[in-house]
Amino acid sequence: MRTSLFLLAISPAAVLSGVTPPVRPLLPPDNANLTLNGAINWYPLNFNISDSQHKGWTQIDGSFWINAFIHGSNGHDYYIASHLMSYASDIEGSKPVYRASVLDLTDPTIFHKYDRIAPENTTFWTSDGDFRASFEDYGMETIDKNPLHGLRTYSSVENVEFDFDFYFTSPILLNAALGSYQVGGGLGWEWSVPRGRTEGSFKVNGKKVDIVPEKSFAWYDRQFGSLQDSFDWIMLHFEESEWLDISIMCAWKWEDRVDGPKMFATVRSSLNGRDSVVPINLTASTTNVWISPDTGLEYPQEWTIQWEDMELLVTSPRPDQVIEADEDTGFPSQFSGYVKVLATKAGCIPVRGFGAVDRMKIE
């Protein structure tokens, strides 16, 4: 018997009335050469990417997160999140969780989401090691026997209904340069496919809406190993600019229980496609916050990233993009959802962008 953590359906009049519909900026092409059959094979990685998508003898449970930025055949833009989480290897007593949400970016007053505790003895893998997390109302699985070809994800929960394929078509982003870092006294791994081709459909008010692949993409983020206790994670895409040489950014801040606070970003150049790891100063607002009526917890609605002589202001279009699990799940509450960003520099025209944020506190 599956336990329901949370199901939210917001009517258009409930919040954010009068919000100006966002216009999603055009993005520069991704010129990186770290393709799965290219230069990435020359890197001295301490893990095999395909092994993190196919179960062998190593512990590879963790986070499987698809962030889809969709243009629908109805003319609206959407953010669709599909996320599997199993932290049993790092958080004692935690249970696997899956969640999904649909946010209408053209009219962000329309938002639906749910979270579920997976049944006991859940596994995300078949007996042959293939990635296949399948539940009554949700699933994420490899498209075929090639673990690095792509993923299919689907949901049949009312108002959060989708079925689409995500392909590993964009160059890989290796967090912290080589896809691994020390965290909490252990080794953690993280890699992403920032702009994979996405095709399929979803439903709006019960009516099928096709995904327009040429105007859509998704970011797949894969994390496993040792995990952060308390963190802010932000991934961003930027429009073309004369002064901002960034097409993609993945920023981290965490309080490490062994080595103290960490802050850095992995950025991809919009000019030559090269990836760099840079120091940043990332702060979450303590004044622009939303207080959950259910738990009383405060969730920031604004983040600032300072890097060299520029500032990035990251904001959420609505306050309640949260996961608040029951206490007996062992899973911590977190703010997780779509964000907009504005990059500024003295004497320069501001640069727009968008992405997603994840903020979690593990006691």
The separation between CA 217 and the C-alpha centre of its own chain, rounded to angstroms, equals 13
Rounded CA-CA distance 70/217 in Å is 7
C-alpha dihedral sign at 327, 226, 102, 283:
positive
Find the angle CA(260)-CA(263)-CA(266) to the nearest 5 degrees. Answer: 140
Top-level class of domain 4-361: mainly beta
Q: Determine phi and psi for 53, rounding to 5 degrees.
A: -115, 5
Rounded CA-CA distance 8/66 in Å is 20
pLDDT at 85: 87
pLDDT at 32: 84
C-alpha dihedral sign at 236, 238, 244, 245:
positive
pLDDT at 14: 40
Find the angle CA(37)-CA(38)-CA(44) to the nearest 5 degrees. Answer: 100
pLDDT at 97: 87
Q: Which residues does 220 contact at the CB level (< 8 Å), separation at least 6?
A: 64, 65, 66, 67, 151, 166, 168, 192, 193, 196
pLDDT tens per residue, the chain (363 residues)? 333 333 444 443 344 444 444 457 778 778 787 888 778 888 999 998 988 998 876 667 889 999 999 999 999 999 999 999 886 545 555 678 899 999 999 999 999 999 888 887 788 999 899 999 999 999 999 999 999 999 999 999 999 999 999 999 999 999 999 999 999 899 999 999 999 999 999 999 999 999 999 999 999 999 998 888 789 999 999 999 999 999 999 999 999 989 899 999 999 999 999 999 999 999 999 999 999 998 888 999 999 999 999 999 999 999 999 987 666 655 678 899 999 999 999 999 999 999 999 998 765
Instruction: Please say whether the beta carbons of 176 and 250 come within 8 A.
Output: no
pLDDT at 90: 52
